Amino acid sequence: MLKRTLIGLLRSHEQTGDKAKDPLLKSHYYKLSKEKAWDEVISTLKKIQGYKIIHEVPSVGEIVLEKRTMTGRTMDITVSVIGINPLNSAVDIYSASRGSLGDLGSNYRVIVDLYRILDKKLSSYKTTNS
């Protein structure tokens, strides 16, 4: 976590993907069609306190959330639900803090937290990769 805080002094965003070096930032895969994954993800996100859904585009698989930090900064979070094939989907998350200062690792923590919540809800569908 110290490393993340040090990186966060300079950087105010974080994102996940297949090529992420940090295992906690790798894309998460689920044995669900894109439509079913979308339904599960959006219903889960709507229940999480502290996050506000700003925009949802089912056709693209994109959900835009907003979260206010304790220090009053606003974070913009994009959750992408990607259909890999008819039976499998991936979820990626991009989180950015508004303002010019670094985020002290808060975007990283938000991503890890959202993945933890989604994995708990979708545990029976979780797979290790595509």
pLDDT number for residue 71: 78
Question: What pLDDT digit, counting tens, does each position of 91-116 carry?
Answer: 999 999 887 776 777 889 999 999 99
pLDDT number for residue 129: 67
**What is the rounded CA–CA span in Å between residue 43 and residue 46?**
5
pLDDT(2) > 70: no
* pTM score of the predicted model: 0.89
Domains, in order of start, for the chain: 2-127 (3.30.310.220)
Question: What pLDDT digit, counting tens, does each position of 45-93 carry?
Answer: 999 999 999 999 999 999 999 999 877 889 999 999 999 999 999 999 9
pLDDT number for residue 10: 60
**What is the rounded CA–CA span in Å between residue 43 and residue 58?**
13
pLDDT number for residue 122: 96
Question: SS3 string of the chain?
Answer: CHHHHHHHHHCCEEECCCCCCCHHHCCEEECCCHHHHHHHHHHHHHHCCCEEEEEEECCCCEEEEEEECCCCCEEEEEEEEEEEECCEEEEEEEEEECCCCCCCCHHHHHHHHHHHHHHHHCHHHEECCC
pLDDT number for residue 52: 96
Percent of the chain whose predicted confidence (pLDDT) is above 70: 88
CA distances from residue 24 to 20, 35, 92 in whole angstroms, order as listed: 8, 25, 11
